[in-house]
Amino acid sequence: MDNSFSRFILMCVLLSVVLITGCSQTSSTRNIDYFTGISGMSFSFVPSAPPDSVYENSQFGVSVIVRNDGPVDVLDPGAVQITSSYDPFYFTPQSQTTLGGNGIGGVSIQLHGKTQNYPGGDQTYLDYAIYTARTIQGTRQIPTSQIFLNLCYPYKTILDTDTCVDVSSVFPSDRAQSCTAQPQTFSGQGSPVAITSVTSEFLPYGIGTDHKIKPVFNIAMQNEGGGVLLAPATSGLFTSSVCSLENQNRANWSTVVVNASLLGTALDCVPSVVRVTDTQPAFTRCSVPNNHLIPAQVNYQTQLHVELSYVYMKGISKDITIVRTAQNELPSTASGTTPTVCDPNLQIQMADPKTGKNYCAQKCDFCATNPTDYRCTTLTASETRYASSFTWTPSFSCGCTRDDCFTKEPLGKCIFDMCLGGTYCCSQ
């Protein structure tokens, strides 16, 4: 009997230890804050795809790993887009994965954000495209060019923070108060656009002895993710047209849509669409509507919810060296000079007025000084999406990076596919 009772006591102790340990682990897991940092979504090339170097006339693949390192789910079919750019003088696409979904067809990237079920976020692997390195033209023995990819996706910034409705700041009282309003600063909510601070003010409202207050919250935000803000998307499927810049109003560029509430009561935010940059904070003021004014009684703590919606784009690039094959040594003439071989899409053959020898001029440089030439007046969609507002000026030259061109193109100050070697044609 004594042994049986002892075994019973031992089993109870062991069961208690297991329960306490399990509860402790559950509590620890629940206390993890996933709304920190400025990550959002990101992507990277798979090692050796593309490779560091390729032989001319050979094929190579481009594959990426796409990650959701932030706390927001991106599950709308077709919402995530990947676009590419390259120098057609060096590369030709053979095949490319179509990103779609929801009846459109193709592959759909859908990733969960960081939660208790996905503590490290979510990721997927994508074989994006296959390219062929073209035959090397001209005198460059081992040229180097780049493959650029852009990841474009809808995302949100979500802030939930305790705040004090400070009635006593407007209507002083001798009563002890449970809280006082204080400015709040933040280092990020796990999304590329960060809410950096919230300050509050309380305006007196009411008639006679019916004292009420109107809380107003000044919300500061900034683009801290290192990417580009596009126009907000009204739905996941609309993201594709935003990412491709199709029919986009320039006034919506670099903006976010703001929604806020105070313990479930929707706030009026002015402006509700805010232009946000990475150089200085942008602001909006969100206030309680007049039909939800707060009686001037005592201070109390409540929760402020702020949500920013936007479409975000980040880019990566890879330098690829193209190696000549033994069968394609540099050709030479009797005089030891190489023959002139111009790319018809990116260059124009010219004759040097002093020597009479032919040479290849960059199409950008040619058109900057010959704007009425027929080769400069007919622009293709791959060269610019803003042909109707584009005008050649002498200041155009092959001196911009791709990021510069991406920013200047909507302003009519940059044009694609007119320069060799990874440079872009823009007005300085």
Task: Please say whether the beta carbons of 232 and 252 come within 8 A.
Answer: yes
CA distance 44 to 47: 9
Closest-CA residue to 114 (of 153, 155, 146): 155
Is the pLDDT score of 76 beyond 90? no
Question: 3-state class of 246 per DSSP?
Answer: coil
pTM: 0.70
Closest-CA residue to 121 (of 53, 178, 69, 192): 69
Query: At 23, which amino acid appears?
Result: C
Token pair for 340: 């002139």
CA distance 186 to 384: 40
DSSP run (H or E) holding 94: strand 91-96
Closest-CA residue to 367 (of 380, 353, 377): 377
Which of 31-35, 48-52, 56-60, 340-344 shows the lowest per-residue confidence on average (mean pLDDT)? 340-344
- What pLDDT shows up at residue 283? 97
Is the pLDDT score of 425 beyond 90? no
| Domains defined along the chain, listed by start | 41-154+316-321 (2.60.40.10), 155-314 (2.60.40), 340-427 (no CATH)
- Mean pLDDT (the chain) is 82
Task: Please say whether the beta carbons of 321 and 141 come within 8 A.
Answer: no
Is the pLDDT score of 315 beyond 70? yes
Q: How far is CA 277 from CA 175, 256, 264, 273, in A?
A: 44, 10, 29, 13
Q: How many residues belong to the chain?
A: 428
- What pLDDT shows up at residue 105? 42
Confidence of residue 338 (pLDDT cuts 50, 70, 90): very low
Closest-CA residue to 51 (of 59, 60, 42): 60
With b meaning 16 or more CB within 10 Å and e meaning fewer, what string describes 20-46? eeeeeeeeeeeeeebbebbbbbbbebe
Task: Please say whether the beta carbons of 287 and 217 come within 8 A.
Answer: yes
| Mean pLDDT computed over 132-157 | 87
